[in-house]
Amino acid sequence: MVTGAAGLVGGLVVDGLSDRFDLRPSDIRRDGGDLRDRAFVDGLLDGAGAVVHLAANADPDTTWAELRGPNADAVATVLDAAARSATVRTVVLASSLHAMGGHLDAGATGIAADWLPYPCCAYGATKVLAEQLGRVYSDTHGLAVRCLRLGGVAARPEAASWLGGWLSFRDAVSLVEAALTAEVRYGVYHGISANTGSMWDWSSARDELGYRPRDDSAEHAHAVTDDLTGASDGARLAHLT
């Protein structure tokens, strides 16, 4: 089951992995329903072996009131339904580098996935909540939960400030595939391409998931300019998903 299948990453996953997995895409805008509705979610997960949960409000500038439903309540409902399902064994949760954006604002480099979460905005805080909910359900129900802190997903970096956190289309698909097939029960991973000089350390995704990105933002550095010159690192993170 892939939630948020009509979104950018959802579409990439469905297109890129449909030949290797029996995917069941869900788009509540098309199909109706509410991911906070337990009966609706139970129906979506009926017979599914894994869930890739991508549906969310991904606006880093919005309010908690707008984020709570899709980014907190819906995540809790999906995880609880998955944990109590007779068939679901694995959940891949879409998190975001915004969960660690405070470290970037503070000028840190080599930011590792196992550092203390430090969100830069309310959106990032909801992603930390999702990661911790995933850990609870993994610990209490034995559910395999892999949280992917996705960087800025785009065909190519759109500004110099994207170079460190860029995640190419094909690497995004490879990362989700690695998370689906890994043997790890619970983990949180930075999801970026193999970007030269990045401030984000993605080595745990390589070591624990077997993720092997093929793209490097340095290949595009000559073609971009920093349209966010003078902005804070938190503002630059606004481009990340």
pLDDT higher than threshold 70 for residue 232: no
> Over the stretch 100-146, which tens digit does the pLDDT of each residue have?
999 999 999 999 999 999 999 999 999 999 999 999 999 999 999 99
* Residues whose CB falls within 8 Å of the CB of residue 19, separated by 6 or more in sequence, listed in order: none
Burial-class residue 184 by CB neighbours within 10 Å (0-12, 13-18, 19+). Answer: middle
If you search the block for the tokens 């139970």, which residue do you land on? 42
Closest among 19, 141, 27 to 89, alpha carbons compared: 141
Burial-class residue 229 by CB neighbours within 10 Å (0-12, 13-18, 19+). Answer: exposed
How much is the pTM?
0.93
Mutual orientation of helices 38-45 and 74-84 as an angle, nearest 10°?
Answer: 50
Please state the rounded mean pLDDT for residues 183-196.
Answer: 98
> Over the stretch 32-63, which tens digit does the pLDDT of each residue have?
789 999 999 999 999 999 999 999 999 999 99
In order of 98, 145, 150, 180, the CA distances from 23 in angstroms are: 28, 18, 21, 12
> Over the stretch 56-104, which tens digit does the pLDDT of each residue have?
999 999 999 999 999 999 999 999 999 999 999 999 999 999 999 999 9
What domains are there in the chain, each with its CATH number?
A: 2-239 (3.40.50.720)
pLDDT higher than threshold 60 for residue 230: no
In order of 105, 120, 239, the CA distances from 160 in angstroms are: 16, 20, 12
